[in-house]
Amino acid sequence: MSSAGVTALSPLGREPRQYSGGEKNDGVDHEADGDIVPRKVPDRGFSLEPLIVNPKIQLSPVIWDMLNSTFDGLNAGHYPMRSMDGTGGVYFIMDSLGQNYVSVFKPIDEEPMAVNNPRGLPMSSDGEGLKRGTRVGEGAFREVAAYILDHPKGGHHSSFGYEKGFAGVPPTSMVKCFHRGFNHPGDLTVKIGSLQMFMENNGSCEDMGPGSFPVKEVHKISVLDIRLANADRHAGNILLSKEGEDGQTILLPIDHGYCLPETFEDCTFEWLYWPQARQPYSAETVDYIRSLDAEEDIALLRFHGWDLPLECARTLRISTMLLKKGVERGLTPFAIGNIMCRKTLRKESTIEEIVQEAQDSVLPGTSEATFLDSVSQIMDRYLDEIAGLPSS
């Protein structure tokens, strides 16, 4: 980034904006490592700029539009509104007229158990988050990762347009933002966090029974959650919306700060208990699943600045492997999801048993490729039994 800030060229032909709010950079390189950097308070009273760690990245028009609208709302003097729900600091930002929300900001230092958490939660003693296998301060990266990996049917998200991802994760980007309205127990600081487009909705899935949800909509959420080993999918973070002239119900997945954990211990899928989960995937969904490639996903996240830790990369590889192998055997979302989720807190899930058996079968120091090959063979045996296929 330039020392003078980032100038956004609006894709809609609007005037460029200087996102630094007019202040000069403090000369510190802002790596995507979760550090909160004290800085001079901007004259304008706020600052906003995208956090781009790879100069080859070109943000899409939809991301720029979200940044522009967020900037306009803050510039008009509208304070970020902290959500009363949840366990972390979550801020809704209005448009320039103060009539509609345009984005949702989640600072990493206000995550559950983080240093500036506004809910009074104790700080993590060992860095682990509320969900096992997650780390405090990484929630924003996971939010962005969920958007990046929610590929449209035709491939990756484009830098030149907007095609909704298969599951419909709202556009999300890492930003640096300053405002007095955030939680500042000590010095005023520039916050690093995720900025997500606010999605108009009619409430969440908590507000009505699941029986009326379209099968296709439930299945698209299941594909995302299984791939990312989501440790926090509940009815409250699936929004309800309407689309088209006939007002068809659309499900919108949000809150992905606990996806891609280091372990499978806390995988939780609310949809597992919905009737749609027991129906088979459509041919269209199966084709999409077949197109997924965990290695490409890991490389894509690295390109965007997040080099997945080995344990998280392993989770993505194994969960993608399970999803692809499961659909080839005709397993339903319920059958595959049931493999990933514990039935009780103390009893390991089937996927945990598979991983443990693979670990026991290889020698110490074995390569990751050899380990994953062992996982694949053991998984085949388990899945064939679940699918009622003869042993190979």
Coil vs helix vs strand at 176: strand
Task: Provide the number of structural domains found in the chain.
Answer: 2
**Is 211 part of any domain?**
yes
* DSSP track, 188-255: -EEEEEEEEE----S-BGGGS-GGGS-HHHHHHHHHHHHHHT-S-B-GGGEEEEEETTTTEEEEEE--
- For the record, the structure tokens of 87 come out as 């366990």
Q: What residues make up the domain containing 53?
A: 7-197
**Is 311 part of any domain?**
yes
Q: How many alpha carbons lie under 13 Å from residue 317 in its C-beta half-sphere?
A: 19
Each residue's pLDDT, cut to its tens digit, for the chain (392 residues) gives 333 333 332 222 333 343 333 333 333 333 333 344 444 445 578 999 999 999 999 999 999 999 999 999 999 999 999 999 889 999 999 999 999 999 999 999 999 999 999 998 999 999 999 899 999 999 999 999 999 999 999 787 776 667 899 999 999 999 999 999 999 998 898 999 999 999 999 999 999 999 999 999 999 999 999 999 999 999 999 999 998 778 899 999 999 999 999 999 999 999 999 999 999 999 999 999 999 999 999 999 999 999 999 999 999 999 999 999 999 999 999 999 999 999 998 999 999 999 999 999 999 999 999 999 999 999 999 999 999 887 65
Indicate whether 212 and 270 sit together in one domain: yes
**Is 352 part of any domain?**
no
Which element (helix H / strand E) includes 81? strand 81-82
> Which amino acid, 380?
D
**Is 79 part of any domain?**
yes
**Is 132 part of any domain?**
yes
**Is 116 part of any domain?**
yes
Q: What is the pTM of this model?
A: 0.88
Indicate whether 188 and 291 sit together in one domain: no
**Is 244 part of any domain?**
yes
Name the pairing type of β-strands 248-253 and 81-82. Answer: unpaired
